[in-house]
Structure 1
Amino acid sequence: MTRTVHALFAAFALLLVAGLAVPTADARQAAPIETRAAALKGSSWIWEPERSREGPVEVVIGLKRQIAFVYRGGKLIGASSISSGARGHESPIGRFQILEKKRHHRSNRYDDAPMPFMQRLNWYGVALHGGHVNGRPLSKGCIRLPMGFAERLFGATAMGGFVFITEDELPSPAAALELARAHADAPIPADRMPRNAAAATAAP
């Protein structure tokens, strides 16, 4: 070997001895879920349901960061990169409830496009569902989730579950939940209510 190669090996050995080598996958996994959630990019996601096995599931979507946080019993159990509505098809913001769930669904509005693990948020065609995600706005208004994450979220939520979508900065998962809960009693427009409830509200 050349003298340069020997020098490189020696330098790397010194880094290992000093504990300055790149963290292993196990070391990264040991980091708090909040820290790992803050670093999500592209189509990455985290799902750790064992952190809280009971309590209501709450979903908070941050459009500015293109991220979703999922809580159960007030504890973060999952986070994912998303792709929300592109320019001209921006995703709506505010308080929502899950109106319909279908494991296999196709769009009634956009060329029969597949929407696996669909969870409807309004009657204008906006839903959470699995699809192509790259951490940037891409959709026609829906919140796209990586397929594996969409499947797990579908299994964890219930009809009427709380979803909050915001354009605000979300500096941490804890701040995201605090913001969502501050709007938990905000009025829900008729297009975001179950059809029978919406009809009753519209009746004279």
Structure 2
Amino acid sequence: MQRLRPIEAIRPLVPVLLIVLAGCRQASIPVDNIASPAVASTPSPAPADGRIRFGSGDRTVFTAPDGRRFQIGSLLTLPGRMSFGDSVWNDRGAGAGPIWIRIDLARQLISVFRSSDEIGTAVIVYGSDGKATPTGAFPVLGRERLHRSTLYDADMPYTLWLTRDGVAIHASTVEEGRATHGCVGLPMDFARRLFAVARRGDVAFIVPASSPGDAGRSAGHST
């Protein structure tokens, strides 16, 4: 049977106003306390469009940090066990609708949805060492194709600003043993694809290591 990936809080996040950009609070920094991402193994065989669909009566419901509820219509199948630097992007067969993003810090995964269909997923790095990544619901405040952090002297390609004090989603070095100064770091190609579809006002839901209401939804990709 198909093996599905865990799924929790999700919703769009995107945009921008004037933000004081002294630089994202995150340049990738090495740390030794970041666990390997928890991801399921390869589904077999994969559906023709690369996604596992749920009927209207058996859909998972994600309750976002702000109380909004989202039904999940489909999740992407994975080519194998995902590890640092891996990503999957596939919008074939996905319905029309708003983009929303779920970032799961416990599993080190990002899931991008268009309406109820997942169109992308990747392993991430996030904040550590006193620069924790905030949790909650964050509309995208702005977009910047190539930002240069003056604070950390680092490039931040494909930046989606989430807070006015510099927390963002952007391309980063996604390797085991690395973390950020509070931002969410993505593989370069995945960050480029996300930047292309995300717009100001889309919402990113960042879920902490444990979240009330997530019980029973940790087997989104299950047998």
Would the TM-score normalized by the shorter structure come out above 0.5?
yes
Q: Given the superposition, is the C-alpha separation of residues 89 and 75 from structure 1 closer, same or farther in structure 2, using an over 3 Å criterion?
A: same
Looking at structure 1, the residues matched to 104 and 168 of structure 2 have their Cα atoms a distance apart, in angstroms, of: 15
Counterpart-to-counterpart distance in 1, 2:199 and 2:151: 25
Structure 2 letter corresponding to 1:167: P
| Deviation per residue, 1:97-147 (Å, 9 max, x gap) | 100101111124322x10000000001111000010025651111100000
Counting matched residue pairs gives: 149
The reply on whether 1:90 has 2:132 as its aligned counterpart is yes
- Which residue identity is paired with 1:72? R
Aligned to 1:40: 82
Unmatched tracts of structure 2, length 5 or more: 1-41, 53-74, 211-216
Q: Which residue of 2 aligns with 1:64?
A: 106
**Is residue 76–residue 119 contact of structure 2 (8 Å, CA) maintained in 1?**
no
Per-residue deviation, 1:88: 1.1
- From the superposition, tell whether residues 49 and 135 of structure 1 become closer, same or farther in structure 2 (CA, over 3 Å): farther
| Cα distance in 2, alignment partners of residues 59 and 106 from structure 1 | 24
Which of 125, 130, 143 is the equivalent residue of 2:184? Answer: 143
SS in 1 for 2:190: helix
Task: Report what 2:194 is aligned to.
Answer: 153
After superposition, residues 106-185 of structure 1 pair within 5 angstroms as 106-111=148-153, 113-134=154-175, 138-169=179-210, 171-172=218-219
**Any gaps of 5 or more consecutive residues in structure 1?**
1-24, 175-204
Residues 93 and 164, structure 1, Cα contact 8 Å, conserved in 2: yes
Greater helix fraction, Structure 1 or Structure 2: 1
TM-score normalised over the length of structure 2: 0.60
- Inter-partner Cα distance in structure 2 for 1:128 and 1:167: 16
TM-score norm. by structure 1 comes to 0.65
CA distance in 2, matches of 1:132, 1:28: 32
Larger Rg: 1
**Equivalent AA in structure 1 for residue 133 of structure 2:** S
CA RMSD of aligned residues (A): 2.7
C-alpha contact 1:82 1:136 (8 A) present in aligned 2: no
Residue 41 of structure 1 and its aligned partner are, at CA, apart by: 1.6
Alignment of 1:184-199 (within 5 A): none
Partner letter of residue 109 of structure 1? L
Partner residue, 1:100 = 142
Structure 2 CA distance, aligned partners of 1:74 and 1:135?
31
Which structure carries more relative contact order (alpha carbon 8 Å, separation 6+)? 2
